Structure formats: structure tokens, C-alpha cells
Structure 1
């Protein structure tokens, strides 16, 4: 079936190219952009490669291309007994090659175990030399590795997955002996032929896109509607409308316990108690934030004054102002912060509430 489709695909491809359609040009442009981005990522020395044989390599390649962290793919022929085989030689069942996809991935973005787990969703691992409508030893399944570390991961993961099946698995887990790039018309086949044959159910491509989402930032800016319900009227007025609470009549102006002060809108750490000092102004005063990367400082000329406003970087909440009349032995700055912008976490609760890594800061007096 695939041989007939190859001929039809080539004819269709020539026709589309000759027509110079806008769709083709758009896809080509996008491909160039993706290629440039991948080349940038490929400069990362940590990029690794693993080889998957999963039936027709058209669908297997397209599947892996959807996964965040996969930075390059190439279809070819692996673990055969000749050199530089052609597609016609491979389908003659005389070369021992398997249709295989070389997958290059960034281990900082995607884990090899996840790639293996996702691969298993595209195959029947108990089937011998057959996936979908394709039959022949070139369609056998296998995961081929190039080092001992990957060997251990592959074999361990496949062994775990085997518990989900009632029949023995027929997935090869062996070293890569050889790999030869397939002809150009096989590369990115389903990108060039969106309606082309594929043994993988289309819904799995969407699943692959969502399988490794970008991790959410630990602290996120909240919608004002959410904050309106979550905060008190004063907290909302101060953080969202640049209000100012009354001096000496706020929660933390005379707080002396050890602990950490976090953004009331996001929970992100901002100040530590060892940097707090009594300034006499009636608001919590700090010589510095935990790190300047956590705040934004902006010129404020409201109310006929020229001051430097302090806002939280992630939450974009108004915190207060910074002045140059602080203790000289602590740097000379005074971060005058509204209690309504802060939430205080006592030292005894920092570990349980996720701020344990900041405990060493309390020892720096």
C-alpha cells in the first residue's frame, strides 16, 4: 500500500511545486524558521539522540516532531546487513533494515522515559513485523541506543511497560549497529503531504503536542478579577491601584519575628527579616530585597513629589517606594513597603509552605 502511495505522493508533490501555491510557500517559510530555531538549540552540547523503529517511518517521525524538546528528526534505515540501502532494497526484505527515526532531543526539556512511553502509544508492541496495514520485517519495532546509559533506561522502561500487556513484547532493545538516511522524499513526508498515509491515529499527534507542556512558572501574575475576590479591599487598593496604607496602623510595621515576606498577590519571596529595620516611618522598612531581580523600580512623580516606586516583577503589584535615607552600614537604602502588599511567613512555617531554601538567609545577620 505504501509503495503505491509513494508514487502518488511524488506526482502530487511535483504538481504542487509547479503550481507554486501560497500554502506550499507558507509551509516552506515555517520550515525554515523551525530549522533555524532547531539549529540554535542544536548548539547545546547536551542534545542527545535515540532511534525508534515503529512501523512506517512517515508517521513515527511526524509524531515525534510534535513533542516539545525534540529538536530534530531524520528518517532512515537501521540495523541492516548491507551499506547505503535504497528504499526498494529495504522493501525487498533482503537487507534486514528497519524503517527507523533518528530523534534528537534536549534532555533538559524532555526525558527519554517520556519519549519511550509516548512511542508505545503509537505501536502494537506485541505484533511481529506489522504495524497498521504495513507488513514486513522493515516494519518491526525497536528502540536502538548508542551508549550504556541509554541502554539501561530503555530496557528498564520497556520492562515496566511490559506489565501492561498480556502477550510478550516484540520490541527490539539493542544497540544501534548502523543507520543510513532515507531518500529526501521520505523526510518530513507528512508535512509535505498532509493527507498522506499514516498508520498512527491522527488524535495521537494532538496528544503528543500536549504531552510535554512548558512548565508553569512557580509564581504567576493573577487576573485582577481573581485578586478582587482574593484580597481585602485595602490589599487590592494598594497593590492594584497604587494606594498607600496608614503609617503605624498596618500589619507588619512592628513585626520583629524571623521569617520571609512574600508578594501577597503571587506568593513570590521579596524580603527577608534579617534585612528589616526600624526606621520610625510607620511602615515595614528593608535595606534591600532578597534580589533585585524580583522587583521593578520606576520613577513616580505623582502627588507633586519625585520618588522611586517599587513593584513586584512577576505580580506587577505596587509595593511602596525606595529612599536613600537608610542605614549606611546596610547600603544606605530604605525600601518603604506597604504591609498590605506583603504576606509574612514565620521561620517555623517556611519549610512546610515551600520556602525552605530561603532559610539559610536568616543566618546571614
Structure 2
């Protein structure tokens, strides 16, 4: 027993140090200077985290002006995150999407509206049964103009529903593309139980309530 106590004390010490280090690294991400992604071939990019990226990818691809939605990880402090590592909640990353869009067709403001209209805005650290920091809601801004758009829409929504909006607001730093099998998951796996019972119902709820002039006939 006397030998066990020092080992336990040492383990607790390292555990506390790791937690403190993680918090320090996460704070550095939150307080960083945003990185702006340049427009390329007339297409801009925006980044959002809103629960499982399988769901969010399909939602954004239903919006006119969105060329592609790519699943990945963002908002954390580790390099080269994987699905397995992200799911531990210890990388700081959330499942996120990279939205490639034509800013002449759809505005960043509309993409933020899509974001808030397609989720449970009051749920902390998750959406539905997908729970944990890796499923938390985050809007990423690349410049001060985008930050103000996000903050104003978030504040207006909080006032409208008289509730706290769970989504965090981060300066964009880097997007890590997820493994190939996660890409276009809904399209490639239409009969998967998760897609049938979670992704498609979430997409349909969004489409039923969002202004039709912004939505494609199919995606």
C-alpha cells in the first residue's frame, strides 16, 4: 500500500499537468490572430463545426452557391488529428466542415444563417446523441468583418429565443481534412442506419424551415 500511494500521487500530478497544458494550448487557439483563406478561382472558403460532420456536409451542399463541403477537424491544438484521436476529446478539435462557395451567389451571412438554422443552438458539446467536445458547435471567422457578422447574428438569435447560444466563436487557424471514407458520407452510404435515422431527418428539418430561394432542388 505504501508503494502504491507515491505512484498514485505521481499519476495525479502528471494528469493535472496535462490538463493545465491542454487548457493553455486551447486558450492560445482561441486567442490567436485569424488566418484568412484567399479566394481561389472565384471560390471562397468558410469553416463551421456543428456536431457530426456527416450531417453538416449534406446540409451545406443543399445550399445554392455551395460547390462542395469537406469533412475534417478544426479548433484544436494537435497536429494531424485523426478520427480516433479526435473522438477522445483530447485534441481540442471539433468535427468541422470546409465550405467551398461562390461569394457572388451566396454570402457569408447566409452561410451563418444556415449554420444556426440547422442545429439545436442551445445544446452544449454536441448535437442530439452525439456528445462530447469533439461535437461542439464552433463558428470560425477569418477577419473582423466575419467576426462581427457572427457575433451580431448570435446575439440576435439569443435575444429572439431568450436563451444562451452554445456555439463558440474562434479565429480560424487550420482545417485538417478527414479520412477519405468520411467524405460525401451521406451520398455514398445512403442506407447506413445513422444516415437514415439522424443525418437525413436533420437535413429534412433544415430544408423544411429555411427559405426555399436559397436551396437546391436536390443535392
TM over 0.5: yes
Q: Is the 8 A contact 1:67 1:209 kept in 2?
A: no
Aligned to 2:127: 131
Indicate if the aligned counterparts of 1:60 and 1:101 stay in contact, CA closer than 8 A: yes
Indicate the residue corresponding to 1:154 in structure 2: 150
Contact 2:60–2:66 (8 Å) recurs in 1: yes
TM-score by length of 2: 0.72
Equivalent-residue separation in structure 2 for 1:135 and 1:87 (angstroms) = 15
2:97 equivalent to 1:96: no
Q: 5+ unaligned residues in a row in structure 2: which ranges?
A: 1-38
2:115 is aligned to 119
Whether 1:67 and 2:68 are equivalent positions in the alignment is no
How many pairs were matched up?
Answer: 172
- Greater C-alpha radius of gyration: 1
Give the 4+ runs in structure 1 shifted more than 6 A: none
Aligned counterpart, 1:57: 53
Aligned Cα RMSD in Å? 2.1
For 2:212, which of 204, 210, 213 is the aligned residue? Answer: 210
The answer as to whether partners of 1:90 and 1:138 remain within 8 angstroms in 2 is yes
Provide, for residues 223-260 of structure 1, a one-character-per-residue CA deviation record: whole Å limited to 9, x for no partner.
xxxxxxxxxxxxxxxxxxxxxxxxxxxxxxxxxxxxxx
Cα offsets for 1:262-290 (capped at 9, x unmatched): xxxxxxxxxxxxxxxxxxxxxxxxxxxxx
Contact 2:139 2:170 in 1 (8 A): yes
Q: What are the within-5 Å matches in structure 2 for residues 221-240 of structure 1?
A: none
Q: Give the corresponding residue for 1:141.
A: 137
Gaps of 5+ in 1: 1-41, 215-365
Offset at residue 209 of structure 1 (A): 9.0
TM-score (norm 1): 0.44
Higher strand share: 1
Higher helix share: 2
